[in-house]
Structure formats: structure tokens, C-alpha cells
Structure 1
Amino acid sequence: MTAAISLVPLATPAQAATSAWRSCSAVYADGVETPDLVATGGGNENFTGRNSLSNVNLYVKDTHADGHHVAVRLVTRQSDGSNHYWSWHHLYAGSGTDESWLTTASDSGGIRLVWREIALFEGSSRLTYCATASASNPSW
């Protein structure tokens, strides 16, 4: 007599979809003929549902000695088409320094798209910025 074993896959929670790293570089003219590269940054995230993100990486690097500081923030597009601008994460340490933050995001208005803005600031005034390419939430 031969025994048969049947393997039946068990249902498992959906795997989080990780987006690719996206980045951009901000330039600023400051009254000179040739604009300077002043900041780079970017990040990626895991989509964990229609309303949430985990492992949200935010990265920024100050690339120019100019007396200004740089920052990065997350931006998401809600299900109604409006944008949610999350808090800025500022780096004040000066040229050649970088910093990253790891966080989560949850929005009852939905998260259809996600991207980052990298900016140069003078005090609380944004002087210039760039935006990374967006990533689409596969849950939509």
C-alpha cells in the first residue's frame, strides 16, 4: 500500500508591495549665472493596503555650502484626487551631510500615489524644490 501526501497551500496575508527607490536633485540659482545642485534625496516604501504605507524611507543630502538647509517630505494622493502634504523633515547640519528617516503613513482618505519633495530652505521659506517620480498603490 502506498501512502499519498497532498500539500495544500495555506492562505497567507498579502505581501506588502515594495516600490523602487526614486530620487531627484534640487537646483538653485541664487542670482548667479549657473544654478548649483543644492540637495538630493528620495526614498521608497511598502504599500500595505489602500490607506497605509510601512517602511517609508525619507532621505535628503545637503550638497552645497550656501548657508541654507535642506528638507524632505512625503506627499500622497488621496482617493478624491487631493494631495496630502506630510511634515517636512529638516537637515541643518550643513553641506556634505545627509540624513534618513524611517516612518509609516496612514490616511483614511486613501493613498493612491506617493512621492517625495526635496527642498532648500532659508529659515521657514522654501527657496526651491524637486519632486521624485510617483509610485502607484497596487491595491487600487
Structure 2
Amino acid sequence: MHSSGSGPGGSADTPGGPGKDIRQIARALIEAAFSGDIEGAIACCTPDLELRIEGIQTVRGHEGLQHIIEFNTEVSTNIQVEIHHMLAAGDTAAINRTTYLTIGGKEIVLEVGAFFEFRDGLVCRWVDYQDMGVVTRALGH
């Protein structure tokens, strides 16, 4: 997993503790989710998480997050994420990233804007904005 970013770092400790930089928690969530680390991703989120892939799907809770990660690792290979920019204000973080993956032998590049809302130092809402048409076509839909 390749990640680069801009802005101050903050602590790299376990997510959710006092004084943690929400940008680092959002980054840890993305890195865990796209590497297939279900436990690591869940550790960044509240039990009532809402994850929305705009225009495609909304899932809730740790089970919903696990389902998305399992589906992604089942249908995708060669997953790489490059983080370009990270911003935060209050209890909201935004990350601009490029996700590279292969589905059914087709290499796909997705430009993504992601927003994360936090409660008690953990992600309670994650919304991804991207053109999913290229993914659905690669899946044969």
C-alpha cells in the first residue's frame, strides 16, 4: 500500500484515544480497509458507523464495513491507494485519494473524495464520492 499525504501528522498510535489527529485515524481506516485488515478498520470506527459509497450503496455498523472489505478483497486484486491531500476541521476530515485496482483483469483508476465524521475520536460516518461506472462495467454490470 502506497500512501503519501500533506499536512501535519499527529500521533501514529492506536486510533480513538485523546489527542489523536482525526486525519491520521481516517488514513488508518483507509489503509486498513484497502489492505483487507478488517480488525484494523473496525478499530477506527464507532459500532454504528454509516459507510456510504455515493450513488451505489450504504452499509451500517462493523458488519457492514466488514462486508464491504470482504467484497472488495474478493473481486479486486493489486489494490493500491495513493493519498494526495488530507484536511480536517472540527469533527470532520476530508481525503482526496486515487485508488488503483484490478477487477476481472481490467486495471481501474478511481479518483475519490472521501469525507469522515467523528464522534469520540472514532469515525461514525464515511462517505466516498467517485465515478463507480468504471467499476460496475468491470464487474460486468
TM-score by structure 2 length? Answer: 0.31
- Bigger strand fraction: 1
TM-score by structure 1 length? Answer: 0.31
- The structure number with the bigger radius of gyration is 1
- Bigger helix fraction: 2
